[in-house]
Amino acid sequence: MTDACRLAHVGIVGTASYLPARWMTAAEVASASGIPEAIVVDRFGLRGKHVAAADDHVTDLARQAALRLFAEHGVDPLDVDAVVYFGSTWKNHPVWQAAPRIADELGCSRAFALELDYVSCGSPVALRVARALLASDPSVRTMLLVGASCESRLLDYTNGRTRFMFNFGDGAVAALLARDHPANRILETAMLTDGSFSHHVKVPAGGSAEPASIETVAARRHLLDVEDPDTMRKRLDEVSVDNFLRVAAQAVGRSGLELDDVAFVCPIHMKRSIHHALMATIGSGMAEAVYLDDTGHLSGVDNLLGLDRLARSGRLRDGDVVLLLAAGTGYTWAATVLRWGEGRQ
């Protein structure tokens, strides 16, 4: 990284989110899947989740979140230099970019579009990429990050192999970043990838390995599935918490901090046991966390949605260290550190 990248301050001007009106309760998930409601609530960590209307797509949800952000912060779309989409890879069309469509619908006609395909670790990675670009290119002053998910439509509640994904819901988030913004500074990021998990979770059909056909549609091969779920679960249980902690420690260390400095954690939504195991070790168990038990998991949206809720709650204070912690199927673990407010930079 260049000296210019290390010295340039990139901050978050503001965030906003959007959740569809329809809320699917834990009881409804239980009815659709045959899993007892108590397990959905207690083990999956899901009281309910928002589900988009049939004619709403990730571009629609992302646009709504961005419009709220623009209205709250008086943003002129013509002042946005780049629009970055980092949400679900399940978009309006199978081979297609959402960012140009979103930029056009928002009136960001001066902005270039950038698409990041990082599934559930999208928030930390998007912040890392945007920070580097803003720090290194003086012509880019503001960037709009938008992420959305409609992955509830990819679920087959009769497929027991995918039961850990029954918490997938729909929603969107937007964040405006600016070069030399004095507050809410984005610090460092760490990432770790184990590609041996890459074959496990996927929509099997529709790509070059298994082109779409009448047979693939009839066999429901265009919904999420898991290859050998028992092996994947066993292997993930052995490494997941350690990998989360590894990237968290690396990110805070690169930021000149320690885990004990973390005041708040915005993690992806995960089952309660993993969540509690993580929070028991980060910041000596003293850090607070945002747990999205009313939305479930929204692909790359979770972390910035948690940050938006945290900021609006009034609990953040100048100088607070916030850790965004995620993992995306493939598998990549990622963590990004923020210094909130206008405190010590």
Number of helices and strands in the chain (H, E)? 10, 14
**Domain residues of the chain, as ranges?**
3-182, 187-339
**Spans of the chain, pLDDT less than 50:** 1-5, 345
- Angstrom distance (rounded) from CA 221 to CA 243: 31
Distance of CA 140 to CAs 63, 110, 132, 134, 312, Å? Answer: 21, 11, 11, 6, 28
Query: What is residue 286's predicted lDDT score, i.e. its pLDDT?
Result: 84
Query: What is residue 343's predicted lDDT score, i.e. its pLDDT?
Result: 55
- Angstrom distance (rounded) from CA 85 to CA 111: 13
Cα angle: 294, vertex 262, 264; to 5 degrees: 20
| Closest alpha carbon to 121 in 306, 301, 252 | 301
Distance of CA 325 to CAs 66, 105, 118, 264, 337, Å? Answer: 23, 31, 14, 11, 9
CATH superfamily of 187-339: Thiolase/Chalcone synthase (3.40.47.10)
Query: What is residue 3's predicted lDDT score, i.e. its pLDDT?
Result: 43
- Angstrom distance (rounded) from CA 58 to CA 151: 9
For residue 157, say if its preceding peptide bond is cis, omega within 30 degrees of 0.
no
Backbone phi and psi for residue 266, each to the nearest 5 degrees, phi listed first: -115, 90
CB 249 within 8 A of CB 260: no
Place of tokens 């902005």: 111
Common-topology check for domains 3-182 and 187-339: yes
- Characterize 178-187 residue by residue with b for buried, 16 or more Cβ atoms within 10 angstroms of its Cβ, and e for exposed: bbebebbbbb
Sheet of 321-328: strands edge to edge? 112-115, 82-85, 142-150, 170-179, 10-18, 185-193, 332-339, 321-328, 262-267, 288-289
Query: What is residue 290's predicted lDDT score, i.e. its pLDDT?
Result: 95
**Relative orientation angle of helices 99-106 and 58-73, to the nearest 10 degrees:** 40
- 3-182 classified as CATH 3.40.47.10: yes
Beta bridge partners, 173, equal: 17, 147
Residue 144 structure tokens: 């709009």
CB 93 within 8 A of CB 301: no
CB 248 within 8 A of CB 335: yes
- Angstrom distance (rounded) from CA 287 to CA 14: 23
